[in-house]
């Protein structure tokens, strides 16, 4: 399971401003979610970790220009792994199980490939820099050697990109 450390990241991570709002919004739209841009310095609605982390409310993801892309994708994926009836009830805390948390981590890595200039390798490096923690020591090691349960969970629910 992943968690965020309280320490500041040692290296800069990609932020929404680096990608641009429209590319992120288009990706979320393809998955039935809406991205709301929050004004610089304003509180982010539905943010579990607090600013600058993304927030979630129902099918909406809230982010500022300084929101890390890994956070935006992670919170969006929390919504994507939920059935619509549960998604509609979400405000701030979107998961109630380790399986859902792991599935969100796995899916965010996959979706990074759909963002220009991001990709899974960069996203996993940003996850590590920000303080996600995995049993094998890195997001890449987890994804490549320890995430079979997350992949299977997503596959069984038809949530893997390209899965029927």
Please give the backbone phi and psi of residue 91, each rounded to the nearest 5 degrees, phi first: -150, 105
Confidence of residue 101 (pLDDT cuts 50, 70, 90): very high
Confidence of residue 120 (pLDDT cuts 50, 70, 90): very high
What is the per-residue pLDDT for 3?
47
Query: Does the residue 76 lie in any domain?
Result: yes
Query: Does the residue 2 lie in any domain?
Result: no
What is the per-residue pLDDT for 57?
97
Report, as an integer, the average pLDDT of 144-156: 95
Query: Does the residue 147 lie in any domain?
Result: yes
Query: Does the residue 83 lie in any domain?
Result: yes
Query: Does the residue 161 lie in any domain?
Result: no
* CB distance 64 to 39 below 8 Å: yes
What is the per-residue pLDDT for 13?
95
Q: What is the DSSP string of 73-125?
A: HHHHHHHHTS-HHHHTT-BS----SHHHHHHHHHHHHHHGGGSTT-HHHHHHH
Model pLDDT for residues 6-32, shown as the tens digit of each residue: 554 455 899 999 999 999 999 999 999
What is the per-residue pLDDT for 9?
46
Burial class (CB in 10 A: 0-12, 13-18, 19+), 57: middle
The structural domain count of the chain equals: 1
What is the per-residue pLDDT for 132?
84
Model pLDDT for residues 72-93, shown as the tens digit of each residue: 999 999 999 999 899 999 999 8
Report, as an integer, the average pLDDT of 140-157: 95
Range of the structural domain that residue 52 is part of: 16-156
Query: Does the residue 162 lie in any domain?
Result: no
Confidence of residue 1 (pLDDT cuts 50, 70, 90): very low
pLDDT at 118 over 90: yes
Q: What is the pTM of this model?
A: 0.90
Query: Does the residue 30 lie in any domain?
Result: yes
Q: What is the mean pLDDT of the chain?
A: 90
Query: Does the residue 152 lie in any domain?
Result: yes
């Amino acid at each position: 399971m992943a968690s965020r450390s309280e320490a500041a990241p040692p290296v800069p991570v990609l932020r929404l401003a680096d990608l641009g709002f429209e590319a992120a919004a288009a990706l979320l739209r393809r998955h039935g979610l809406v991205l709301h841009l929050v004004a610089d310095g304003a509180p982010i609605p539905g943010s579990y970790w607090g600013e600058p982390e993304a927030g979630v409310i129902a099918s909406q993801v809230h982010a500022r220009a300084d929101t890390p892309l890994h956070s935006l994708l992670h919170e969006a994926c929390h919504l994507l792994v939920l059935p619509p009836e549960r998604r509609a009830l979400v405000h701030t805390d979107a998961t109630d199980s380790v399986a859902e948390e792991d599935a969100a981590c796995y899916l965010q890595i996959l979706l990074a490939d759909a963002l220009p200039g991001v990709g899974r390798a960069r996203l996993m490096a940003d996850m590590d820099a920000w303080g996600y923690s995995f049993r094998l020591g890195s997001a890449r090691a987890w994804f490549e050697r320890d995430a079979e349960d997350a992949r299977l969970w997503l596959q069984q629910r038809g949530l893997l990109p390209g899965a029927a």
